[in-house]
Structure 1
Amino acid sequence: MTGATRDRVSPVAAEVRVQARTDEGLTAAARADIRGSEPVFAGHYPDFPIFPGVCVLECVQRAATDGDAAPAPSQLAAVESARFAGAVYPGDTLHLTLKWRRTEAGLRCDAAVSTDRGKAATIRLRYEPAAGAR
């Protein structure tokens, strides 16, 4: 594990940058440049590096929570769905679009992830209010 983000340890070294927030924080755009030096490429897969889906999910989680992108303090409660539609390779830039909805249980974040080649993933995360934030 290499990339430390606040009090977390992550296998992803890429910086995830939230570029814009609109609709009172209920939508956000972010990007992450996936370099060939990402540690996960060493073993995934030799001679044919592919950025693992769980690392794409980590980028979405970071975009949703880092830099105050979330519309309210919250913690991840569930990965409700993750569908991977296209491979992510060294040198790709991930473009992330996040849309938040308030639910009875807290917040739901729907994310669309793409590269310059097209759709890479759709991910739905559910968040609960952070401890002490109710």
Structure 2
Amino acid sequence: MEMNIQEIKNYLPHRYPFLLIDRVLEIEVGKSIVALKNVSFNEPQFTGHFPDQPIMPGVLIIEAMAQATGILAFKSEVGKPIEGQIYMLVGVDKVRFKRMIEPGDQLHLKAEVTTVKRGIWKFKCSATVDGKIVTTAELMCTQKAAD
């Protein structure tokens, strides 16, 4: 199942400049997701990171992975979120950065569910560009109920 940006906005509260998922390419409910982030020179972080050699900050790569896990968790657990209901990143482990991501790159994000226990979701994540691993991490998220 694919999702375009309009559908993604139904699952994530993020908006420009912090919505970091452009498309979902595949989703297997309860198991895995593959999402896409198109990296553009026009993104605000590139004015300062770094002006002469723009690279995507590692924290934004992790955030993009976390947003993908949020979509997967919602689709797997509650279907579609109600107003104010979000998945929050609560843990990041075993992060490794292998390559730089530059404007013009297409970042493929993959997350696989490893465990779900008492509302805590754990995922094994990777990010690739042109089939080459750029980042790997293990992420945890949990649902924050609507206020």
Q: Same fold (TM over 0.5)?
A: yes
Q: What percentage of residue pairs aligned between the two structures are identical?
A: 27
The C-alpha deviation readout for 1:37-61, integer Å capped at 9, x for no partner, is: 1110101111110111011111111
Q: Residues 61 and 10 from structure 1, CA distance in 2 versus in 1: closer, same or farther, beyond 3 angstroms?
A: farther
Please give the root-mean-square deviation of Cα atoms over the aligned residues, in Å. 2.3
Q: Residues 110 and 88 from structure 1, CA distance in 2 versus in 1: closer, same or farther, beyond 3 angstroms?
A: same
Whichever residue aligns with residue 27 of structure 2, its letter is R
Segments of 5+ residues of structure 1 without an aligned counterpart are none
Kindly indicate whether residue 93 of structure 2 is the aligned counterpart of residue 116 of structure 1: no
Q: CA contact under 8 A between 2:20 and 2:63: conserved in structure 1?
A: no
Segments of 5+ residues of structure 2 without an aligned counterpart are 1-8, 79-86
TM-score for the superposition, normalised by structure 1? 0.79
Q: Secondary structure at the match of 1:58?
A: helix
Q: Residues 10 and 101 from structure 1, CA distance in 2 versus in 1: closer, same or farther, beyond 3 angstroms?
A: farther
Q: Residues 12 and 75 from structure 1, CA distance in 2 versus in 1: closer, same or farther, beyond 3 angstroms?
A: closer
TM-score for the superposition, normalised by structure 2? 0.73
Kindly indicate whether residue 52 of structure 2 is the aligned counterpart of residue 47 of structure 1: yes
- Structure 2 partner of 1:33: 38
The C-alpha deviation readout for 1:16-51, integer Å capped at 9, x for no partner, is: 3221112x4311111110011111010111111011
Aligned length: 125
Whichever residue aligns with residue 109 of structure 2, its letter is L
- Structure 2 partner of 1:77: 90
